[in-house]
Amino acid sequence: MSKIIGLTGGIGSGKTTLATYMQSLGIPVFIADEEAKKLMQSAEVLRKIQAVFGEVVFKNGQLNRQELASIVFAKPEKLNQLNGIIHPVVKKQFKIWLDQHQSAPFVVYEAAILFESGSYQNCDAIITITAPLEDRIVRVMQRDNSSREQVLNRINAQWTDAQRAAKSNFVIENIEPKIAKLQFDEILKILKIQQNEG
């Protein structure tokens, strides 16, 4: 049975960089946000989104992600409604994926809202990645072509670093990616020792 390592952190903290590094070490990584994007194309999910949010989030029959994002990140109750549609299907998909990676000693479940979604309850260990707020804002503005205000709305819709760190087994401070990777190497050593003892 694979041990599930939860990997989380606020938007722009550098989760994807670290997840890619983990994959390079041969550790299977399930990126919940990417899976959610794929699953949002399914007829079943689109039907539910349409029922809750109406035609306003569709353009020429296609889901208008930017419009949906501007609604959900401005109103917490709308974000909860969207998460209520997406999380059950992502959870189902993860179970299928996990069955396919049973031979791996560790697998990583990477999710920005690991705690908010309740997914942390299935993890054997949790790593939170933190980064200075200003670095995060700049990274996301460059990556998504977003305004500062849009990025701050998304940051404010998530848990704080302190909230996540308090519920995590390990915290990696991602100021310099090279050092963050070394921190993960040390965590992996600890996890391997724990697994051998267990």
Binding residues for ATP: 12-17
Judged by DSSP in three states, 57 sits in helix
Instruction: Give, in degrees to the nearest 5, the angle at Cα 163 between 161 and 165.
Output: 65
41 vs 82: CA distance, rounded Å: 14
Q: How many residues does the chain have?
A: 198
Contact 178, 18 (CB under 8 A): no
40 vs 45: CA distance, rounded Å: 6
Supply the angle between the helices 43-53 and 65-72 in degrees, to the nearest 10.
Answer: 50
106 vs 109: CA distance, rounded Å: 10
87 vs 17: CA distance, rounded Å: 23
Contact 131, 175 (CB under 8 A): yes
Judged by DSSP in three states, 132 sits in coil
